[in-house]
Amino acid sequence: LNVLSHVYFTETRPYNQGARLTAFELLEEHIPSTLVCDSAVSALLQSDPGIQAIVVGADRVAANGDTANKIGTYQLAITAHHHNRLFIVAAPSTSIDLDMPSGKQIEIEQRDPSEILVQSGFTKSSVATGSLEPASVQVAPLETRAWNPSFDVTPAALISAIVTEKGVITKQPNSSEFD
């Protein structure tokens, strides 16, 4: 029986979905876990050879296996490849678009720059009391410009497998794309 012994999960900037939602779910399920800065994953893989895979979600999967997901997914695939670890996409089968030949056709939305220039959250005291008072802090000088794409596309060549509720999809040997 293979049991998940520990999960490292990223903050998932700029909205911090990992720090908020993934952390909550892992705690609720009593899965041992550690929050990691988005930019620390490569160092983590370098320092811990016991990490076997990176698992991410997907908002869209093209017919060849190219995958669109939250910004930062592509760099996770690159570091998994560099460190010789599996890179697995887990998504509902409804995310697979067989009418889209490749990720080149996926349009990437540019988000409001303020989403990365301003950090939002709750005051520490309000979290402790459960009242959840929102607060925002400007983290960059006001004149700072920002590039803020909502998604990136991970090429199928970097993906080890795609897992859906219907099963696991793998590539043919020596293929860089999925059939």
Instruction: Scan for tokens 């093209």, then name that residue.
Output: 62
Q: Which are the catalytic amino acids? A: 59
